[in-house]
Chain A
């Protein structure tokens, strides 16, 4: 059969994607700037397309209006976990939030995620978050000789922890947790999610150790099942459920 060019009506151009005006209200913090340690709101009126995301709006500000605006992003496709921020009061990835899905009649507020020290504008210090992550030993622990082939695992065994393998360490969950906001001592949902990923992995042998680490005053027992984390997770991980499973594992071990 001869290949034919499909006729899909007149060729569409970018101009035909509906455009609209949107105000982006960004929380700024420039310690070396004229306003010093005071943070403030900056409004930017932009003309955007229906296909644009909040990240595109931030790019437009940075590239065309105010080069001093600082934020993190890398992949721009929801996989690296760099650009978690508070958009209209909710933790989301800027690269996964379409402007048209937000209420564009009002200014869209963009703030850094809460509970972590802000370094500049939308960039926070992630170190406390990663410190908790490292504490739960996020790597496979085995003993004995290395097998000559792969470590066998059945699809059922894999399914047990499938959900928690999806984490991209964006910190949207931990920084949406009111218990974490209080004093930052709580391990946080992300650390528990990543511990869950190994605790329930049939090939791993350090489940007891990880349960011990999380059986801490600041560990899983500080979870109040607020479900903020589950709502915030851009990967749709059922975080509160994972935390409950870790709790249950601890209880069955203790009794």
Chain B
């Protein structure tokens, strides 16, 4: 007669596998650095868009077109988009890890999260790179001044 094998009742509580690696380390460092950079970027963004000059009343298509006509502003906005999306996505990933108890829930939430990340980053980057400040055939009243010279 062989001894029946009784699975230990505590098996679900044991750590499933070791997941060593520098990924979480780099993630942690990235969060600190991108956080600091984002504070500077976002306050510059808010100041330039909402306070400087005519302030919030100046915002229209022409205002955005005028900004993106210059390469430095495009670079700034591109960096801000990427950093904000990566910082935010990693933060939400952390929250999912902390609060979702089942692997399935975790998986579904992460698929949604990463899809949202890809959609926003791809469309955002596309717009910044292919933006045309003076689209042909648009109402000239809505466009920036420098379009008239074209």
Tell whether A pairs with B. Answer: yes
Residues of A within 8 A of B (CB): 116-117, 125, 127-128, 131-132, 135, 178-179, 182-185, 187, 212-213, 215-219, 221-222, 224, 247, 250-251, 254
Instruction: Give chain A nearest CB distance to B11 CB in angstroms.
Output: 10
- In the complex, what residues of A have CB within 8 A of residue B9's CB? 117, 125
Count residues of B near A (Cβ-Cβ below 8 Å): 24
**Complex alpha-carbon distance, A17 and B27, angstroms:** 57
**Complex alpha-carbon distance, A113 and B39, angstroms:** 40
Binary contact readout B88-115 vs A (1 if CB under 8 angstroms, 0 otherwise): 0000001001111100000000000000
Output the nearest chain A residue to B28 by Cβ-Cβ distance: A221
- In the complex, what residues of A have CB within 8 A of residue B29's CB? 251
Q: Given A131-B15, A182-B99, is A125 in contact with B25 using a C-beta cutoff of 8 Å?
A: no
**Complex alpha-carbon distance, A116 and B29, angstroms:** 31
Binary contact readout B15-42 vs A (1 if CB under 8 angstroms, 0 otherwise): 1101111111111110000000000000
Q: Are the C-beta atoms of A215 and B15 separated by less than 8 Å? A: no
Chain A interface main SS type: helix
* Cβ contact of A212, chosen from B14, B20, B26, B27, cutoff 8 A: B20
Q: Are the C-beta atoms of A179 and B13 separated by less than 8 Å? A: no
Say yes or no for B10: interface residue by CB 8 A criterion. yes
* Cβ contact of B21, chosen from A128, A132, A183, A217, cutoff 8 A: A217
Q: Given A131-B15, A221-B28, is A125 in contact with B98 using a C-beta cutoff of 8 Å?
A: no
Q: Are the C-beta atoms of A128 and B10 separated by less than 8 Å? A: yes
* Cβ contact of B28, chosen from A132, A213, A216, A247, cutoff 8 A: A247
